């Protein structure tokens, strides 16, 4: 765990967490940080906690001690968001200290009670304030469904710091550089990619609410954005606001100038057409990504499709339906409400088709509204005329990608 000073009276504690499935689902190949913030006036508040998955809140207490905060002197636990990566230490803290007040929204109150049996809670609503003394005044601003219904921002008016919890966060472990002005260009790139992975895996379903949260952030004068995961933005907080707006556009069909080939193949017939398609994309100078299901993790698959302006679905019919690993991927993409992508599908069939029907069913059930170019299906191996049709459709997809590109 690292300890960092944000400004006088405000510190961050941060720790890297590795080798877990985030939310029990998402493989996080590059880890994630959990950030907690301590605001000290005459009273002391801790905004979210960092229990990590090591089950050792004592690590937190020791580090609090190192920055001169006796856990016994913590007066308020501010729960911006109840998900246990931020709140999981509350029960342990109750064993250490008996007289503190939890501050949260009405939506969080019920969960604080049901998850941890807590009842000493002050419920706050938009604009409520907490004066800690010595000029430290916190105000609270609900941002529901980011990504749970309980979430709020906490804003410290003297330093103009927005404690945004999950909002403006990213996956990715942090080394020595935790502030935006310290990051190397490689680290900036790393955290953008990890931000996309985080947004697409955890937040994308709630894009409508996230856009409202972006607008709410803009109503504050902000010097620093201090999220619950990832770097702190003190030099250019506008960058992460702009990035999040762009990510929200990716959920609505825009994307980077890239095409992702989401593919699976049983015995290599569809793969022959994929090899041909790769040749066309290379000839046309198009950046493309290969996502081979079921070998690629769900986390990586979602992130790669999410950030791409164009998608090629390349998969055969299997037992009268779409090849199951690709069908499952598309279903997950639909659940994440990744809508409006430009896409083209081709694939092989043996004794019967059926893949096409299932794709339509998945798209309709999830209201994906993808811009689908007419598919090319072929019996057995692709013939010359099939490949010629695929080339025409690929050129059509490339034109659509140009319109949807937002870098
Ligand atoms: Fe970082 Fe929604 O928890």
pLDDT in tens, 353-372: 999 999 999 999 999 999 99
pLDDT given at position 192: 98
Q: Which residue has the higher pLDDT, 33 or 56?
A: 33
Confidence class of residue 56 from pLDDT cuts 50, 70 and 90? Answer: low
Residues with CB under 6 A from ligand 1: 81, 83, 85-86, 147, 166, 228-229
352 Cα–ligand 1 center, Å: 45
- pLDDT, tens digit, 9 for 90 and up, residues 142-157: 999 999 999 999 999 9
166 Cα–ligand 1 center, Å: 5
pLDDT given at position 397: 98
- pLDDT cut 90: percent of the chain above it: 89
Closest approach atom of ligand 1 to CA 34: 1
Interatomic CA distance for residues 38 and 27, integer angstroms: 30
- pLDDT cut 70: percent of the chain above it: 98
Closest approach atom of ligand 1 to CA 229: 1
| Average pLDDT taken over every residue of the chain | 95
pLDDT given at position 148: 96
Q: Whose CA is nearest to atom 1 of ligand 1?
A: 166
pLDDT given at position 54: 54
Fold of 2-251: Metallo-beta-lactamase; Chain A (3.60.15)
Correct CATH for 257-399 of 3.40.50.10490, 3.40.50.2300, 1.10.10.10, 3.40.50.360 = 3.40.50.360
Residue 52 has pLDDT above 60, yes or no: no
Residue 53 has pLDDT above 70, yes or no: no
Residue 93 has pLDDT above 90, yes or no: no
Closest approach atom of ligand 1 to CA 202: 2
* Out of 90-99, 103-112, 221-230, 289-298, least confident range: 90-99
pLDDT given at position 58: 73
82 Cα–ligand 1 center, Å: 8
> CA 356, 264, 314, 21: dihedral to nearest 10 degrees?
90
Interatomic CA distance for residues 309 and 319, integer angstroms: 31
Residue 55 has pLDDT above 60, yes or no: no
Confidence class of residue 92 from pLDDT cuts 50, 70 and 90? Answer: confident
pLDDT given at position 64: 84
pLDDT given at position 96: 84
Tell me which residue of 145, 198, 189, 201 sits closest to 169, measured CA to CA. 198
Place of tokens 């803290």: 93
Confidence class of residue 131 from pLDDT cuts 50, 70 and 90? Answer: very high
Q: Whose CA is nearest to atom 2 of ligand 1?
A: 83
In the numeric block, which tokens belong to residue 37? 């913030």
Q: By the 8 A CB rule, do 398 and 391 touch?
A: no
Confidence class of residue 374 from pLDDT cuts 50, 70 and 90? Answer: very high
pLDDT given at position 67: 87
Closest approach atom of ligand 1 to CA 151: 2
pLDDT given at position 179: 98
Instruction: Find the DSSP H helices in 47-131.
Output: 57-66, 84-87, 90-96, 106-116
pLDDT given at position 89: 84
The mean pLDDT of 86-91, rounded to a whole number, is 88
Domain ranges of the chain: 2-251, 257-399
Q: How many of the other CB atoms lie within 10 Å of CB of 407?
A: 9
Burial letters 235-265, b for 16+ CB under 10 A, else e: eebeebbebbebbbbbbbbbbbbbbbbbbbb
Residue 111 has pLDDT above 90, yes or no: yes
- Specify the pTM: 0.96
297 Cα–ligand 1 center, Å: 20
């Amino acid at each position: 765990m690292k300890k960092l000073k944000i400004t006088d009276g405000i510190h961050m504690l941060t720790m890297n967490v590795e080798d877990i499935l985030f939310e029990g689902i998402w493989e996080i190949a590059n880890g994630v940080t959990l950030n907690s913030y301590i605001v000290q006036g005459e009273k002391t508040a801790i905004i979210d906690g960092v229990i990590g998955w090591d089950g050792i809140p004592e690590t937190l207490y020791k580090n609090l001690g190192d920055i001169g905060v006796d856990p016994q002197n913590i007066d308020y636990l501010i729960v911006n968001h109840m998900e246990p990566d931020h709140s999981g230490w509350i029960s342990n803290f109750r064993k250490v200290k008996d007289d503190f007040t939890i501050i949260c929204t009405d939506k969080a109150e019920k969960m604080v009670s049901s998850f941890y049996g807590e009842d000493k809670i002050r419920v706050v609503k938009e604009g409520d304030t907490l004066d800690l003394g010595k000029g430290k005044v916190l105000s609270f601003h609900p941002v529901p469904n980011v990504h749970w219904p309980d979430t709020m921002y906490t804003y410290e008016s003297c330093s103009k710091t927005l404690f945004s919890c999950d909002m403006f966060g990213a996956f990715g472990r942090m080394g020595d550089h935790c502030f935006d002005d310290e990051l190397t260009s490689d680290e900036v790139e790393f955290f953008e990619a990890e931000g996309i992975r985080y947004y697409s895996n955890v937040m994308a379903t709630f894009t409508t609410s996230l856009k409202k949260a972006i607008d709410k952030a803009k109503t504050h004068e902000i010097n620093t954005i201090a999220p619950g995961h990832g770097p702190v933005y003190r030099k250019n907080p506008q960058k992460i606001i702009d990035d999040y707006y762009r990510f929200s556009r990716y959920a609505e069909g825009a994307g980077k100038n890239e095409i992702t080939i989401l593919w699976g193949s049983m015995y290599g017939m569809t793969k022959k057409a994929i090899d041909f398609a790769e040749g066309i994309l290379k000839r046309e100078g198009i950046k493309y990504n290969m996502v081979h299901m079921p070998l690629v993790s769900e986390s990586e698959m979602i992130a790669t499709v999410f950030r791409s302006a164009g998608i090629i679905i390349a998969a055969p019919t299997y037992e009268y339906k779409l090849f199951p690993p690709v069908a499952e991927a598309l279903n997950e993409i639909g659940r994440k409400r990744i809508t409006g992508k430009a896409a083209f599908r081709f694939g092989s069939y043996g004794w019967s088709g059926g893949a096409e029907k299932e794709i339509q069913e998945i798209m309709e059930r999830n209201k994906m509204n993808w811009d689908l170019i007419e598919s090319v299906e072929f019996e057995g191996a692709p013939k010359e005329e099939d490949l010629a049709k695929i080339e025409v459709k690929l050129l059509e997809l490339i034109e659509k990608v140009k319109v949807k590109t937002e870098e």
